């Protein structure tokens, strides 16, 4: 056994070194070709060029990335017993447990007092980051993660039952579905108007879809199209998705509820 | 500037996604069953929404000015891709129909199925390598979720292992795409192909190719990733496994096409081709040898899937137009008859066991089902007039014409192995004499009509494609001619 495992370790380390050196060699000798990026960096759509790439040039990729998150949340829910064909395994695991245990790490009052103002500030910052995603650094993903982080902070310091900021599971699910559907339907709107999915609609019957104040105009262009709405949709979805995963991981209540029905 | 909508291609991907969100929201509701059935009917007509040609998302077509590169995300639909998407959607629809016969059907399952269908059809149609990666990830997570849905301890373990390896393989694929992007400056496959053909190769391009092959091995179930895939198929519910194997077959075909399109015809593709053929032979041989050893019907089918995946990969790896046609056609055929076999296993598993030693004598209780399973088995072995025969003939023909007779011999040998274990399984399940108690037990078996319906459609398709293979082959051929390479002996 000892010989076998040491042989195995040698094989693993050899292949690791070989493969690692291949990766490093190819990364080391990168000679970057500008290609299409020349167009991305020279065409003005909105002040935040990163958001322009994410939501205008390559909007469909962002839709797919959202769905990776939605899908992970769905599968994480399944691991905790939601929508299984057979719950025998989970029932077996939780047969002896009478009550569900919620995590309470027993933090001191100092942390508890500081956590709530901090998480409120973080949530507000998250909202600002989402709403200003098209003009300042940030966007839906970043803002949504900030809000979810604030929620996680509150839950960790108080425990899920006593937490003053409490989103119900159903509410989070609704929020996530709403965000995702908004993104998909805004794409369809572009299709109805121009014939192309996720077309950045500049005007709907002569109206600017997202009127902005004149003072932030750059290059004389004010029209940001539907990008802020897409940002909001992604923000809602990300904050709901990450919060759902947190509530799943921190409490056994979900499993108990799922086993019962 | 209202323009008439004339191309509904995005709906092939977007409509299942919208419905999947709705299904996951109302997952406990009573109308899930009816909606699932309706959705199954809609899926069949969905592939006909797109018109042939290139579709640019967000109207970001080929950029004007100094660069003549595609600026946004492009999808391409042509007859070959349309056939693949149609097969995928048809099988998805049939699996959903047989799922409506399940007692514990819920919205989450339907939602995951739809997400998988949408993402795999996106992988088939995508002309953009990063978009392909995004949907590849969705397909990975979806497959893990579908395995977990069966809820047993082994299913949890298999799905966890799959995701763990998937994290590594997915990241490596992403790294490869990043390397290719840095070296070529574009993500569009057509543009990248032009760049690679006109510029000399750099180490970054070699690195990118290596990572693409790793992603291909993981997505398609080639060695060294074949064991985790086989584990997944055998731990999932059989009718779910039929969907899983369809997903991975089409991911395999799509990624092979991408590799062929990008690198086929380049001087350094020779070595790559050797590696790919070696991987596919590994898949074929390992799969068959492992299948011969199995006592459990589900495991046998799982390893058989791996060996047939090797055939598909071998056909595409040959790289000649005929090889590509054979590979894609075998992939489509395999998806059809293998789904039939897994559905058959689903019906047989109503007899409380999938261990073949404990079964036997089922023939009088389900003669019609047994006949259809026999048809599917004969198709996998490659007996005329069934579809497996046509595609295996094409594969062997392609191998001979590309001057690799060794490959053709291995294919025939593996086919003989397939014959042995498939007939063994048929004998043990349906023909072997059984005890009186078992007969009493069998009398209580209730066969779901929905599953039998799906199985019947798949069997009809097996026979139809066996007699008229041109329905599919004629559609693939122009596409294969476009991306194939003509190898000559003296090269």
Domain ranges of chain A: 46-260
Rounded to whole angstroms, the Cα distance separating B269 from B265 reads: 7
Say whether A88 and B152 touch across the interface (CB within 8 A).
Answer: yes
pLDDT band at B486 (very low <50, low <70, confident <90, very high): confident
Say whether A75 and B202 touch across the interface (CB within 8 A).
Answer: no
CA distance B429 to chain A (A): 25
Residue with tokens 């495991």: B299
Give the torsion sign (CA, A170, A176, A178, A184): negative
Rounded to whole angstroms, the Cα distance separating A78 from A100 reads: 18
Tokens representing A174?
Answer: 């609704």
pLDDT in tens, A12-21: 999 999 999 9
Rounded to whole angstroms, the Cα distance separating B324 from B254 reads: 11
Rounded to whole angstroms, the Cα distance separating B460 from B359 reads: 27
pLDDT of B268 higher than 60: yes
pLDDT of B45 higher than 50: yes
Chain A hits for B150, CB-CB cut-off 8 Å, are: 84-86
Say whether B115 and A60 touch across the interface (CB within 8 A).
Answer: no
CA distance B240 to chain A (A): 11
pLDDT of B14 higher than 50: yes
Chain A hits for B203, CB-CB cut-off 8 Å, are: 25-26, 28-29
ipTM of model: 0.93
Say whether A199 and B58 touch across the interface (CB within 8 A).
Answer: yes
Residue with tokens 């139809």: B464
Rounded to whole angstroms, the Cα distance separating B171 from B148 reads: 23
Tokens representing B229?
Answer: 């895939």
Mutate to test the interface with A, among B18, B74, B127, B134 (most CBs of A within 10 A): B134
Pick the closest to residue B397 from B388, B387, B407 (CA basis): B407
Q: Which residue of A has its CA nearest to B65?
A: A39
Locate all alpha helices (DSSP H) within B185-296, ordered by sequence: 189-198, 203-220, 226-235, 238-263, 269-293
- pLDDT (average), residues A183-195: 89
Say whether B10 and A191 touch across the interface (CB within 8 A).
Answer: yes
Reduced to 3 states (helix: H, G, I; strand: E, B; else coil), residue B62 is: strand
Of chain A residues 190-219, which have a CB less than 8 A from chain B?
Answer: 190-200
CB-nearest partner of A71 from B1, B115, B206: B115
Q: State whether residue A182 sits within 8 Å of chain B by CB.
A: no
Strand partners, A218: A221
Rounded to whole angstroms, the Cα distance separating B100 from B32 reads: 9
Contact B51, B7 (CB under 8 A): yes
Say whether A184 and B18 touch across the interface (CB within 8 A).
Answer: yes
Q: State whether residue A121 sits within 8 Å of chain B by CB.
A: no
Contact B455, B372 (CB under 8 A): yes
Chain B hits for A75, CB-CB cut-off 8 Å, are: 112, 141-142, 144-145, 148
Give A221 or B56, the one with higher predicted confidence: B56
pLDDT in tens, B377-417: 999 999 888 999 999 999 999 999 998 999 999 999 999 99
Task: Note the pLDDT of residue A203.
Answer: 76
| DSSP assignment letter at A94 | T
Rounded to whole angstroms, the Cα distance separating B430 from B361 reads: 5
| DSSP assignment letter at B357 | T
Chain A hits for B56, CB-CB cut-off 8 Å, are: 196
């Amino acid at each position: 056994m000892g010989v076998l495992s040491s042989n195995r370790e040698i094989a693993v380390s050899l292949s690791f070194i070989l493969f690692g050196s291949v990766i490093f060699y190819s990364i080391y000798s990168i000679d970057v070709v500008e290609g299409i990026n020349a167009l991305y960096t020279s065409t003005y759509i909105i002040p935040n060029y990163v958001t322009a790439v994410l939501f205008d040039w390559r909007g469909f990729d962002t839709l797919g990335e959202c769905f990776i998150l939605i899908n992970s949340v769905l599968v994480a829910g399944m691991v905790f017993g939601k929508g299984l064909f057979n719950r025998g395994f989970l029932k077996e695991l939780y047969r002896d447990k009478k009550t569900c245990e919620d995590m309470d790490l027993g933090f001191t009052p100092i942390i508890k007092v500081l956590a709530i103002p901090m998480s409120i500030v973080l949530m507000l910052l998250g909202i600002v980051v989402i709403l200003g995603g098209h003009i300042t650094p940030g966007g839906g993903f970043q803002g949504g993660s900030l809000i979810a982080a604030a929620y996680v902070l509150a839950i960790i310091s108080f425990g899920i039952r006593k937490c003053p900021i409490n989103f119900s599971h159903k509410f989070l699910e609704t929020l996530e579905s709403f965000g995702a559907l908004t993104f998909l339907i805004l794409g369809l709107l572009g299709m109805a108007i121009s014939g192309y999915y996720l077309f950045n609609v500049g005007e709907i019957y002569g109206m600017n879809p997202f009127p902005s104040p004149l003072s932030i105009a750059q290059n004389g262009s004010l029209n940001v199209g539907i990008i802020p709405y897409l940002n909001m949709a992604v923000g809602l979805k990300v904050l709901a998705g990450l919060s759902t995963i947190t509530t799943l991981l921190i409490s056994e209540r979900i499993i108990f509820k799922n086993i019962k029905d | 500037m209202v323009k008439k909508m004339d191309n509904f291609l995005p709906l092939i991907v977007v409509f299942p996604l919208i419905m999947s969100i709705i299904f996951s929201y109302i997952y406990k509701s009573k109308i899930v069953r009816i909606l699932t059935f309706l959705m199954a009917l809609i899926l069949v007509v969905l592939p006909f929404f797109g018109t042939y040609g290139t579709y640019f998302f967000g109207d970001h077509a080929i950029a004007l000015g100094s660069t003549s590169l595609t600026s946004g995300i492009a999808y391409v639909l042509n007859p070959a891709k349309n056939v693949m998407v149609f097969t995928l959607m048809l099988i998805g629809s049939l699996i959903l129909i047989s799922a409506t016969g399940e007692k514990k059907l819920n919205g989450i399952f339907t939602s995951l199925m739809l997400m998988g269908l949408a993402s795999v059809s996106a992988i088939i149609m995508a002309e953009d390598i990063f978009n392909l990666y995004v949907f590849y990830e969705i397909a990975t997570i979806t497959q893990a979720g579908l395995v977990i849905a069966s809820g047993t301890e082994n299913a949890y373990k298999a799905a966890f292992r799959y995701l763990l390896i998937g994290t590594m393989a997915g990241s490596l694929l992403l790294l490869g795409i990043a390397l290719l992007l840095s070296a070529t400056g574009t993500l569009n496959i057509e543009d990248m192909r032009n760049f690679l053909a006109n510029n000399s190769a750099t180490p970054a391009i070699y690195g990118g190719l290596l990572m693409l092959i790793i992603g291909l091995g993981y997505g398609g179930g080639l060695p060294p990733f074949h064991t985790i895939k086989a584990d997944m198929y055998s731990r999932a519910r059989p009718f779910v496994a039929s969907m899983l194997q369809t997903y991975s077959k089409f991911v395999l075909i799509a990624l092979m096409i991408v590799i062929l399109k990008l690198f086929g015809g380049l001087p350094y593709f020779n070595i790559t081709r050797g590696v790919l053929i070696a991987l596919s032979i590994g898949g074929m041989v390992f799969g068959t040898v492992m299948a011969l050893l199995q006592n459990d019907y589900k495991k046998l089918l799982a390893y058989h899937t791996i060996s047939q995946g090797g055939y598909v990969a071998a056909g595409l790896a040959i790289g000649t137009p005929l090889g590509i046609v054979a590979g894609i056609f075998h992939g489509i055929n395999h998806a059809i008859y293998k789904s039939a076999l897994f559905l058959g296993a689903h019906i047989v598993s109503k007899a409380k066991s999938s261990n073949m030693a404990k079964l036997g004598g089922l023939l009088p209780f389900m003669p019609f089902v047994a006949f259809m399973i026999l048809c599917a088995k004969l198709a996998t072995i490659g007996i005329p007039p069934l579809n497996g025969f046509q595609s295996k003939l094409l594969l062997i023909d392609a191998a001979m014409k590309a001057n690799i007779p060794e490959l053709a011999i291995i294919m025939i040998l593996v086919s003989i192995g397939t014959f042995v274990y498939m007939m063994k399984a048929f004998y043990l399940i349906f023909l072997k004499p059984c005890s009186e108690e078992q007969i009493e037990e069998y009398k209580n078996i209730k066969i779901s009509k929905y599953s039998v319906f799906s199985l019947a459609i798949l069997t009809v398709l097996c026979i139809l494609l066996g007699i008229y293979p041109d329905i599919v082959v004629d559609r693939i051929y122009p596409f294969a001619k476009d991306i194939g390479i003509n190898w000559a002996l003296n090269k």
